[in-house]
Amino acid sequence: MEENSIAIIPAAHEVTRSYDTEFKFRQDSDFWYLTGFPEPDAVAVIDPQNKKAPYTLYVRPRDPMMETWFGRRAGVEGAVKKYKADKAFSIEKFENDMPKLLHGRDVLYYRFASDNALDQQILKYLSGQRVRRIKTPYPPHTIIDPTIITGEMRLHKTADEVELMKIAGQISAEAHIHAMKKVKPGMNEAQVESLMEAFMRDKGASGVSYNSIIGGGDNATILHYVENNAVLKDGDLLLIDAGAEYQLYAGDITRTFPVNGKFTQAQREVYDVVLDVLLKCTEYTRPGNTVMGRQNLSIELLTEGMLKLGLLKGKAEDLIKKKAYMKYYMHGVGHYIGLDVHDAGRYFTDQGSKNSRPFAPGMALTVEPGLYIPANDKSAPAKYRGIGIRIEDDVIVTENGNINLTDKVPKDPEEIEALMQKRSRK
């Protein structure tokens, strides 16, 4: 943080699902990263100038009636004792304390346009300060978005974070294996979704880290298909993109496999192209290479694959220049992963997005090439229509390469078939 600065970092709030019921609470990732405090409606104040008490939490006060209805609160005392804040106050005092906290600071770290209620309190304070009294110290003259710091911190995982991500990856992988062992023709996508989520929670995950994508047949060609309510057909592929959240860290795995346990020749042809790209892009995810370099590699390899399959015609170079590959491969080959499934941190190291980020030890990324050939695509060879394939793993970059967090679940087609052979016939 800058000299003579202070940071205000809000917790998440409960969000209404409908009428008087809320979505299950999920803490704000930055707030969680910095505090480990699990409750809504709190604010952390970080004040490096205050050597004795640089870390203050404003939290919901204890309230027997509210706690009887809605759950326990740590309260002001718990915030200090259990969560190690240097000082704590009721959140109800925060607005009144603002002049005391901010007067005379050069810099305020605060992310506008995320928390509307807090934005209004801070704007009210700032506009109030324009009417200056001679003796009142100045309000901050510079406001900086703190995610410029927290994004860099979160991008490079600590050893403790790597341990949690390994568990998130492991539970996610086992849930996919569980699904591969259960899927058969006639099942509904919703049943697959629910058996995977039940499995994850049974293994200690809080649930899924994003809405599961369970797409049979042509549904696999819709990137964010989340309806998950169709019957799985004999002869179709099933694409499952699902991950567990463990202590707020995300897993994110995609596997695509035959509903009846056996790939057709045409399915294998497309699958093998995508698998080869996955393996090469995973190998590429290491120090010395960059995020954009990897994206370009995936585009080159998949364009060659599309030529080989007869999906595109022409010269690879021209097709890449014209972005013709986007007809069948229209997303990135991966993203950062951590507390958020699409995690914090910048992909370029300059404001103009010219210099791509080099891979460095501790960075966690997915690798997820795909090919999507809609059923109604008259220009594709008939045998490939309605095939959508994505394969996705999570890796942590190391000094010389990477650790694959999710490779326990098979992706080799013969291994998948062997695993599915063991399904019960009931």
Query: Among 247, 181, 192, which Cα is nearest to 219's?
Result: 192
Q: Is 174 in the site for Mn ion (CB under 5 A)?
A: no
Q: Is 343 in the site for ligand GLY (CB under 6 A)?
A: no
CB nearer to Mn ion: give 5 or 29. 29
The distance of closest approach from Cβ of residue 370 to ligand GLY in the complex, given in angstroms and rounded to an integer, is 9
| Binding test (CB under 5 A) with Mn ion, winner from 172, 209, 366, 406 | 366
Q: Is 193 in the site for Mn ion (CB under 5 A)?
A: no
The distance of closest approach from Cβ of residue 252 to ligand GLY in the complex, given in angstroms and rounded to an integer, is 5
Q: Is 252 in the site for Mn ion (CB under 5 A)?
A: yes
CA distance 271 to 280: 14
CA distance 401 to 395: 10
Chain centroid to Cα 305, Å, comes to: 28
Tokens read off for 99: 């002049």
The distance of closest approach from Cβ of residue 244 to ligand GLY in the complex, given in angstroms and rounded to an integer, is 12
Active site annotation includes 372: yes
Q: What is the DSSP string of 28-71?
A: -HHHHHHH----SS-EEEE-TT-SS--EEEEEPPP-HHHHHHH-
What does 161 interact with, of Mn ion, ligand GLY, none (CB < 5 to 8 A by kind)? none
In this structure, are residues 238 and 254 in contact, taking their beta carbons and an 8 Å threshold?
Answer: no
Active site annotation includes 335: yes
In this structure, are residues 252 and 212 in contact, taking their beta carbons and an 8 Å threshold?
Answer: no
How many residues lie near Mn ion (CB under 5 A)? 5
* Residue of 241, 245, 393, 394 marked active site: 241
Residue 19 backbone zone (phi > 0: left; psi -120 to 50: alpha; other: beta):
left
Active site annotation includes 111: no
Active site annotation includes 393: no
CB nearer to ligand GLY: give 243 or 413. 243
CA distance 174 to 202: 11
State whether residue 398 is helix, strand or coil.
Answer: coil
Q: Which of residues 368-387 bind ligand GLY (CB under 6 A)?
A: 368
* Residue of 22, 67, 227, 342 marked active site: 342
What does 25 interact with, of ligand GLY, Mn ion, none (CB < 5 to 8 A by kind)? none
Q: What is the DSSP string of 142-153?
A: EEE-THHHHHHH
What does 210 interact with, of Mn ion, ligand GLY, none (CB < 5 to 8 A by kind)? ligand GLY
Q: Cβ neighbours of residue 386 under 8 Å, at least 6 residues apart?
A: 217, 218, 221, 236, 373, 374, 375
Q: What are phi and psi of 390, to 5 degrees?
A: -135, 145
Number of helices (H), then strands (E), belonging to the chain: the values are 12, 19
The distance of closest approach from Cβ of residue 95 to ligand GLY in the complex, given in angstroms and rounded to an integer, is 38
* Residue of 252, 269, 304, 394 marked active site: 252
The distance of closest approach from Cβ of residue 392 to Mn ion in the complex, given in angstroms and rounded to an integer, is 5
State whether residue 376 is helix, strand or coil.
Answer: coil
The distance of closest approach from Cβ of residue 282 to Mn ion in the complex, given in angstroms and rounded to an integer, is 13
Q: Is 28 in the site for Mn ion (CB under 5 A)?
A: no
Q: Which of residues 216-245 bind ligand GLY (CB under 6 A)?
A: 241
Q: Is 210 in the site for ligand GLY (CB under 6 A)?
A: yes
Active site annotation includes 414: no
Q: Is 252 in the site for ligand GLY (CB under 6 A)?
A: yes
Chain centroid to Cα 108, Å, comes to: 28
Quick one: which segment of 174-182, 295-303, 347-355, 364-372 binds Mn ion (CB under 5 A)? Answer: 364-372
Point out which residues bind ligand GLY (CB under 6 A).
Answer: 210, 241, 252, 335, 341, 368, 392
Residues carrying an active site annotation: 20, 224, 241, 252, 331, 335, 342, 368, 372, 390, 392
Point out which residues bind Mn ion (CB under 5 A).
Answer: 241, 252, 254, 366, 392
